[in-house]
Structures are given as C-alpha cells and as structure tokens.
Amino acid sequence: MTSPRTDLTAWLEALRSEYWEHQEEAQDPTGGRPHLVFEAGGRRFALPAEAGRGVVRRPRITRLPGLPEFILGVAGVRGEVVSVVDTNRFLAIPEPPGGPGGYLVLVASGDLRAAFTVDRIVDVVPVPPEEVQPIEAPWAGAPENTVKGQWQAEEEEPVTVLDPDGLVRGSAVPDDRRQPGGS
C-alpha cells in the first residue's frame, strides 16, 4: 500500500510535468524557449526553465565530510534534501567577496536534483535555439558538458547558456565517494 505522501508526491510530479508540457507549447512567437537568467561570479548565465524546480533564498546548509570542495553540503528545500553546489567553484569562475550567493536554483536532470548557488536572479526570457552560438573552449577550468553556448540579446552582454544535465550530473558525487572507504 502506498503512503499518502507517496501519492501526493506522484500527483505533484504529474502536475508539474503537465504544466511544463503546456509551457513548451506556449513558446514565444519568436520560437524561443523560456530560460532563467541569473548571475554568479559577476557573469550572466541562462538555464532552460523546464529544468528548473524553483528558486529559494539560501537556507541553512549542513556540511558533510569527504565531499568535493564545490559541494557545500545538503539542505532541506521544500521537504526534500538536496545537495548544494557552489556554482562559482564548480564552474571555475571567480567567487564574489561575500562567498557563495544568497539564492539557490533547484535544477533537475531525470531523477537527480541539485541546488546551485547564485548571486542574483535576473529574468526569465525566451531564447531562440538558433541564436545560441557554440563555445569551443568556454574558460579555463570549465567542467565538460556544462556549457551549451552563448546567447546575446539586443544591446546586452552575452549570456552563457548552461546544460542542466551537465550541471546536475557533472556535480553529482559518484557512489563510491559516498561509501566508507571510497576513494
């Protein structure tokens, strides 16, 4: 027998999926898909909105031993425990003077979820896929498979478009790192 919490979670996931399916149908007339634009380390980044699971103020984070330096720890967000990734360290970009940003962007890739620190949420804008220009070598230390390309709106600074799957899966800790005696 399933618990009421399991039923509620399944119902909410189905509702969320249906919502995003309708969002995809309601694209901007220019053909752009909604992207969340945020700032981290003095740079602007965009992430496809359908991969986002929300934005929250940075909660209390519990540090766990033995994790990579870019993982700040775990936090309870909306009834779920998620890993919190220092976006600046993970993407190898300069950290702001005050440390990691005050907001978390919750990102999903399949059944994996992670929360990424950001300094500021800028906007949600339509990004036409044909306007995203590839970047061969984004910057020194940028993790593989995280950068899709660069997009520039009229009279604005370029925005680096990130791949949500690359972000979440690239920042995930391999199972052997979670086990006692793992390398």
For 33-178, CATH gives 2.40.50.180
The pLDDT of 20-28, averaged and rounded, is 53
Per-residue model confidence (pLDDT) at position 182: 42
User: What is the reported pTM?
Assistant: 0.76
Which residues lie closer than 8 Å to 79 by C-beta, 6 or more apart?
Answer: none
pLDDT digits over 92-102, tens only? 998 877 777 78
**Cβ atoms of residues 129 and 31 within 8 Å:** yes
Which residue intervals of the chain are DSSP H helices? 4-25, 87-91, 164-171, 175-178
Task: Read off the DSSP letter of residue 24.
Answer: H
